[in-house]
Structures are given as C-alpha cells and as structure tokens.
C-alpha cells in the first residue's frame, strides 16, 4: 500500500506540473536471474533478465502519458533502474542512480517509477548499480511525440551491446585489482545486435520497395563504440539522444557508448538484392582481442528472401555530430558559472587504477546525495557537506552552466549528464585553451552524451532549470565503477521546496542499513565531516611498493608470454 501511495503522489506532482495527462501506460518489470542465455552464439551464461526472460522488453509510451514502471527485485542483491535521458523534472528521486538519488531496491522488494514524460525520442533503461546492466538489465525505451517531425512508413529499433562471457563482479575483481596497475580495460568477448519491430524481437529487418524506414539505434555497451553504415544505402540523421535534428545525409557515423541516433532510410525500388547493416567495432582501446570477438558485425536487410546478398560495404564516412542542427533552434549564450573537470586515469594508493576528475576518484558517500540535499536546510548550498570524494559541484538556480572537460587520457571517453541535455559548444583534439574560449553559436547540437577525444577537450553548456542531484560520469562502465564520476547538486534550496521523496525510499534505505539524512559522512551535525569516506588518494612522490611489485609481475608475465610465442614460432 505504501508503494502505491508513493506512486500516486509522484503522479500527482507530474499532473500538477503538466495539466491533464494522456493514457495510463503500465509495465511490470521483475529483475531475475536467467540461466543458459547465449545471444552471441559463443557461450551460454547466467544473465540478469526481466520477467524470467532475456532480452528485456521494449518500454514505449506517448508524450504526456502517465507512465508507470513497477520494478520488482527478485535478485539476491539490491538493484535500481535508470531511464537514460529522461529529465524527471520535480521527481529527481526517480532517476535511479543508486547512491545518488536512491539507496537501491532491496532484494524481494519493489519500487514504482511513475512519471508523465514531457519529452520524446529514443532512450533506454538500465540498472544503475554495481554494473548490472553489463549482465543484461538493459532495454529500449521509446517516447512518441504528439506529432512526428518527419514522415516514415515503419520503424525498427536496433539495439547493439557488447557481451562478456563472465559476470560483472568477476570481471571487476580482475580489472580493479592490484594485478592490473595500468588499468587495462576488459574487452568484450562478443557483440549482440538485436532488432525490435515495435511488438517483438525479430531476426532481421525487411524492406519493401520505395518505403521509408526509421531506424532507432541504441548503444547499450559497457565499453564498445561502433561505426554504423548500410551497404547500398545512405542514411538521413533526424534525431540524436532524444533531440530532433534537421535532416543530414550520411554514409556512416560512430555510435558511442549509451548514445542513440535515429536515421531515415529509403528502400530501393527493386528486390533483386538484399543488403546488410555493418557495425564496425572500435578496437582502439582494446589491449587484446578475444578469439570470439569479430571486428565487424552485420544484420541483414531483406528485400526478397530468394535474392542474393550484396555485402559490399558503403563508402567510408564519419559524420561529425557537431555538424548536426537541432530542429528547434537554441543559440548558445554566455555562461554564468563554469566548472572545469580534468580527466585522468592512474593507479592510486590502494594499488588499483582509478578514474579521476580533478585528481579525485569518486567514492560513494555514506548518505546518498539526494538525502543530504533535502535534509540539511540552508547548509545544502555548501559544497563541503557532500564530501571530498563525490566530486560535488553546487549549481545556482537557472544559471547557464559551462562544463569544460580536459581529457588527459590516451583513450576517448563518452560522458553522460543525467537530468539534462547540453549544448556541445566546442570540441577539440587538444586541451582547453582559456585564451581561446568558444564562440557563441547560432544552434549547437544538443545531446546527453559527448565523446571527448584522446588528449582532447569539450565544452558543454546547459541551463540549471531542473533542481535535483544529477550524476555526470563516463559511460564506459569500467571507468565509472572506478571513480570517473561527479555529482551536480542543482539549486538545492529549491529542491527542498519542490521535491518530496516518497517514504518508501526512506524505508528501503533503512532496510539496507544506509542512513538517509545528514551529510556525506552520515552526521546530523552537517558541518562535522568526521568519518567520511577517505581515499583512495593520489600517490605522493610516485608509485607505492604494492604498485611497483604488481607492475613488475605484470611486465614479467608479458615477457614470458612473448618468449613463449617466439619459442613456439621457431619450433
């Protein structure tokens, strides 16, 4: 009953904000373990499925519907659900980021995510706790608009995700361990491509002559980016990350981790050939190539089952997403508040390689940040109460926020902001130059994912018009899990007036033994930070003894492996 009352209260908030709502749409999602799943046809394994099956179902609703998603946790560990790209205005507690906006749903319990979507486009839902989406808790989420900007005859949802033979906890023990001091990321064992026609998952796409198809592409990977192209066809980009764009024709583009693109493809007038979509795997950050991993995956486009396949790839093209123009024009303006985030990955004093913003690797606070923001009164505007390990930044209400990202790493990173879309006002292959700030642009691209190049930079801007606690993190799961994570506390005093956290979330924190009031250290004397999480920390004066020993063994193992290869080659 308490859960139902909390859901009703949430719906009331949404209705008050939007006026009358549309249809009531309800989904019941039970997170369960499913054995012997083998979508890549390489190795069967246990996964986290929904309602006893995998892959998880499509969730679809219309703009201004009352959308209810009941999530029951039948796992043996806590879970949560994040609806990636949904703003949740006035309902920050529905964002699903465990440790930030809720404690997590305890085993055997449920939570209702109920809201009225005030946006439309292509999104996805996934667990946002302990890497559970890597093990399968991930599915497509589509919000349909009142009126489509572009006409098309039919659509397919193309879900692509990397796939690991081992479960996430086992992979993390190796990746975030002292035997991996350089932080070599685990490459996937395979890639899974799923096609959904709006009612069910199917084996391939079917085109009818002369028809126009919308393809919604979603990258649900933990690590891998893909180059997308279709042999014999061009694509017209019409949406990126939920933002309608002016049509732009291309032969190919990169689909970065967690991003979504919609393209229109017009079918040929003949059926004498079948074609295929090519998904080229970006291996630039892979230290090794697993034997079961291919560098290119394909999915057929069938005109006539009796016709031959034309596997000729499309001419190579890499569309720059910075050239995409939102359909609704929004010029960039001067920033009111600027935040600089310097990215680095390095081994810290625990002997483990971590991701860092400004030399700080995120550690989860004792109190999830949303509860600190709503329980600390006037002190909620003081950044110190959120802890020294949370990379917290307090944003002033309704100000134009500028975020400068300097990527000091040799790999590229997809950064995601919860609760907003941002304008990408600059992106460069070099670090940010303060003497050369970005120019004001007439209509810069708006996204919730930005791919920052190796040793490069990006400048983002967004209006702080959504009070709440919003995560900002790298969407490479291995980097996020080891600290490449920040929190933006947006208009905390307004939060206290506008956001009413349902009682069930307090009850679930209590069941998990997690405090739900006070500062990041769990103290009700909010200026007393005694006992807050401390470390891991940057090593002063170089690597410590554990790191040096681990590195020495790593080098020795590599030399032995190389010697073995040479010996076998000579014999």
Contacts 24+ apart (CB under 8 A), 492-497: 492/373, 492/380, 492/381, 492/394, 492/467, 493/378, 493/380, 493/381, 493/397, 494/397, 494/467, 495/92, 495/373, 495/374, 495/380, 495/467, 495/468, 495/469, 496/373, 496/374, 496/377, 496/380
- State how far the Cα of 194 lies from the Cα of 220, in Å rounded to an integer: 11
Whether residue 186 is found in the same domain as residue 60: no
Give the domain-ending residue among 491, 512, 533: 512
Residue 314 in any domain: the answer is: yes
Tokens for 190?
């395979």
Q: How many residues does the chain have?
A: 571
Residue 236 in any domain: the answer is: yes
> Quick check: 188 and 222 in contact, CB under 8 A?
yes
Q: How confident is the model at residue 499 (pLDDT cuts 50, 70, 90)?
A: very high
Q: What is the pLDDT of residues 500-549, one digit of tens each?
A: 999 999 999 999 999 999 999 999 999 999 999 999 999 986 544 445 55
Whether residue 368 is found in the same domain as residue 394: yes
Whether residue 365 is found in the same domain as residue 379: yes
H/E stretch holding 24 = strand 24-37
Q: How confident is the model at residue 21 (pLDDT cuts 50, 70, 90)?
A: confident
Residue 522 in any domain: the answer is: no
Q: What is the CATH number of the domain that holds 14?
A: 2.60.40.420
Q: Is the bond preceding 59 in cis, omega lying within 30 degrees of 0?
A: no
Residue 535 in any domain: the answer is: no
Which residues, other chains included, contact 191 with Cβ-Cβ below 8 Å and sequence gap of 6+?
40, 160, 161, 162, 163, 224, 226, 279, 281, 293, 294, 297
| Percent of the chain whose predicted confidence (pLDDT) is above 90 | 90
pLDDT at 557: 64
Mean pLDDT, all residues of the chain: 94
Mean pLDDT, residues 59-74: 99
Is residue 418 over pLDDT 90? Answer: yes
Whether residue 367 is found in the same domain as residue 507: yes
pLDDT at 22: 87
Dihedral angle of Cα 95, 101, 103, 105, to the nearest 10 degrees = -20
Is residue 5 over pLDDT 60? Answer: no
Whether residue 453 is found in the same domain as residue 571: no
Q: What is the pLDDT of residues 546-569, one digit of tens each?
A: 455 555 566 666 666 666 555 555
Tokens for 352?
């483990």
Whether residue 140 is found in the same domain as residue 161: no
Q: Give the structural domain span for 24.
A: 1-149
pLDDT at 17: 41
Residue 131 in any domain: the answer is: yes
Q: What is the pLDDT of residues 371-413, one digit of tens each?
A: 999 999 999 999 999 999 999 999 999 999 999 999 999 999 9
Whether residue 145 is found in the same domain as residue 157: no
Give the domain-ending residue among 131, 149, 167: 149
- State how far the Cα of 327 lies from the Cα of 463, in Å rounded to an integer: 19
Q: What is the pLDDT of residues 120-153, one digit of tens each?
A: 999 999 999 999 999 999 999 999 999 999 999 9
> Quick check: 160 and 218 in contact, CB under 8 A?
yes
DSSP annotation string for 266-319? EPPS--S-BEEEEEEE--TT-SS--TT--SEEEEEEES-TTSPB--PPPPP---
Whether residue 62 is found in the same domain as residue 183: no
Whether residue 354 is found in the same domain as residue 502: yes
Question: What are the residue ranges of helices labelled H in 418-529?
Answer: 477-481, 492-498, 503-512
- State how far the Cα of 43 lies from the Cα of 35, in Å rounded to an integer: 12
Whether residue 13 is found in the same domain as residue 134: yes
H/E stretch holding 550 = helix 545-570
Residue 258 in any domain: the answer is: yes
Give the domain-ending residue among 107, 128, 149: 149
Residue 395 in any domain: the answer is: yes
User: Residue 306: how many CB atoms within 10 A of its CB?
Assistant: 8
Whether residue 369 is found in the same domain as residue 502: yes
The burial class, CB within 10 Å (0-12 / 13-18 / 19+), for 489 is buried
Whether residue 478 is found in the same domain as residue 553: no
Residue 122: beta bridge partners?
A: 142
pLDDT at 4: 37
Residue 61: beta bridge partners?
A: 143
* Number of domains into which the chain is organized: 4
Q: What is the pLDDT of residues 442-496, one digit of tens each?
A: 999 999 999 999 999 999 999 999 999 999 999 999 999 999 999 999 999 999 9
Residue 525 in any domain: the answer is: no
């Amino acid at each position: 009953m308490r859960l139902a009352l909390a859901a009703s209260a949430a719906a009331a908030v949404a209705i008050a904000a939007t006026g009358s709502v549309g249809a009531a749409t309800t989904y019941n999602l039970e997170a369960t373990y499913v054995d012997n799943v083998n979508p890549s046809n390489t190795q069967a394994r246990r996964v986290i499925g929904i309602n006893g099956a995998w892959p998880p179902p499509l969730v679809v609703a219309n703009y201004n519907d009352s959308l209810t998603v009941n999530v029951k946790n039948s796992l043996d560990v806590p879970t949560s659900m994040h609806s990636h790209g949904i703003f949740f205005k006035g309902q920050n507690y529905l964002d699903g980021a465990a440790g930030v906006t809720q404690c997590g749903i305890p085993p055997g319990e449920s939570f209702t995510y109920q809201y009225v979507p005030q946006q439309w486009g292509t999104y996805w839902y996934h667990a946002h706790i302990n890497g559970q989406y890597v093990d399968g808790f991930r599915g497509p989420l589509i919000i349909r608009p009142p009126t489509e900007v572009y006409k098309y005859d039919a659509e397919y949802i193309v879900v692509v995700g990397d796939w690991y033979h081992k479960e996430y906890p086992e992979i993390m023990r190796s990746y975030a361990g002292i035997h991996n001091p350089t932080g070599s990321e685990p490459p996937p064992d395979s890639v899974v491509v799923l096609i959904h026609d709006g009612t069910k998952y199917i084996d391939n796409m079917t085109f009818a002559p002369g028809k126009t198809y919308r393809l919604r592409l979603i990258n649900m990977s933990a690590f891998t980016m893909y180059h997308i192209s279709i042999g014999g066809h061009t694509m017209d980009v019409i949406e990126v990350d939920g933002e309608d764009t002016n049509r732009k024709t291309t032969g190919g583009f990169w689909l970065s981790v967690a991003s979504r693109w919609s393209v229109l493809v017009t079918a040929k007038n003949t059926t004498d050939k079948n074609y295929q979509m090519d998904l080229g795997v970006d291996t630039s950050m892979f230290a090794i190539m697993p034997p079961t991993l291919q560098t290119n995956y394909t999915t057929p486009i069938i005109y006539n089952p009796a016709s031959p396949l034309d596997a000729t790839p499309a001419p190579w093209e890499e569309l720059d997403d910075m050239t995409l123009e939102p359909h609704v024009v929004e010029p960039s303006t001067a920033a009111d508040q600027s935040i600089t985030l310097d990215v680095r990955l390095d081994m810290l004093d625990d002997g483990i390689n971590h991701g860092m913003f400004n030399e700080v690797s995120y550690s989860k606070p004792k109190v999830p940040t949303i509860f600190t923001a709503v329980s600390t009164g006037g002190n909620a505007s003081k950044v110190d109460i959120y802890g020294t390990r949370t990379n917290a930044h307090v944003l002033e209400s309704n100000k134009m926020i500028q975020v400068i990202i300097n990527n000091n790493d040799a790999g590229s990173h997809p950064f995601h902001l919860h609760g907003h879309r941002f304008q990408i006002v600059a992106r460069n292959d070099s670090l940010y130059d303060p003497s050369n700030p970005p120019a004001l642009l007439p209509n810069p691209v708006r996204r919730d994912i930005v791919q920052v190049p190796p040793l490069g930079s990006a400048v983002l801007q967004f209006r702080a018009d959504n009070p709440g606690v919003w995560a900002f993190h790298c969407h490479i799961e291995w980097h996020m899990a080891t600290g490449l994570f920040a929190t933006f506390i947006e208009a905390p005093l307004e939060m206290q007036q506008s956001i009413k956290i349902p009682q069930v979330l307090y009850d679930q924190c209590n069941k998990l033994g997690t405090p739900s009031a006070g500062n990041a250290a769990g103290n009700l004397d909010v200026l007393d930070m005694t006992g807050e999480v401390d470390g891991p920390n940057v090593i002063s004066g170089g690597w410590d003894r554990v790191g040096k020993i681990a590195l020495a063994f790593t080098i020795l193992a590599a030399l032995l492996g190389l010697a073995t290869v040479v010996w076998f080659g000579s014999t």
